[in-house]
Amino acid sequence: MADFKSSVGMTVTLISFGMMFATLFLGFFLFRFSAPVWPPVEIENLPKLIPFFSTLVMALSSYTYWRMEKGIETRKKFWLATTVLGIMFLVGQWTLWNALAASGIFISNGAVPSMVYAFTWIHAAHIVIGLVLLLWLGHLIFRKPQALTEVRLMNVGKFWHFLGVIWLIMYLMLFVL
């Protein structure tokens, strides 16, 4: 009971970050619905497979995080899985950016590449924060299990799942719809 206080803080933080991403999505929707032709030429060349796999990776990492939270015996295994999947996601983003550059789509090429690059960069920066939090949890799991409280797992979990949801929305917006 005494411990729920910090999750109020995490909830407020997620509202803040959510507003930032919401602003980016607002910009996207304004472009989308005021563009004379959609999809514009640039978007037809966007790689579709890489972000699809990235989405699967993020979804899987949310599942492994949930397993890590719930079980104590399998915790270390699922922590490793979640962290590895998180790193794989970043590697996937890196591959995506390279693939875009290889097909001639650079950030300065107009409105749509601007959005694709800028939004995925900003999301990736927050994934880095998430990974730092995961590494901190790993430190607690392996070295200081008594400091690994339920609330800390829950708070980092909120953040991690939030990043997954934001990615899902971004993926659908930029690459699917």
Binding residues (CB under 8 A) for other proteins: these are 4-6, 8-9, 12-13, 15-17, 19-24, 26-27, 30-31, 34, 40, 42, 107-115, 117-118, 122
Q: What tokens were used for 128? A: 């880095």
For other proteins, the closer CB: 42 or 88 = 42
Closest by CA to 69, choosing from 145, 129, 146, 154, is: 154
For residue 45, the minimal CB distance to other proteins (Å) is: 14
Is the Cβ of residue 95 or residue 109 nearer to other proteins in the bound state?
A: 109
Q: CB 76 → other proteins: shortest distance, Å?
A: 27
User: Could you tell me the smallest distance in angstroms from the CB atom of residue 59 to other proteins?
Assistant: 25
CA distance 151 to 17: 20
Sign of dihedral through CA atoms 108, 112, 116, 119? positive
**Rounded least distance, CB 111 to other proteins, Å:** 4
Taking the complex as a whole, how short is the minimal distance between the CB of residue 162 and other proteins, in angstroms? Answer: 13
The angle, 0 to 180 degrees and rounded to 10, between the axes of the packed helices 75-102 and 150-171 is 20
Nearer to other proteins, 16 or 146 (CB): 16
Q: Which is nearer to other proteins, 14 or 57 (CB)?
A: 14
**128 by DSSP, 3-state: which?**
helix
Q: Measured between alpha carbons, how far is residue 79 from residues 10, 57, 76, 157 in Å?
A: 20, 15, 5, 11
Which one, 7 or 95, has the nearer CB to other proteins?
A: 7
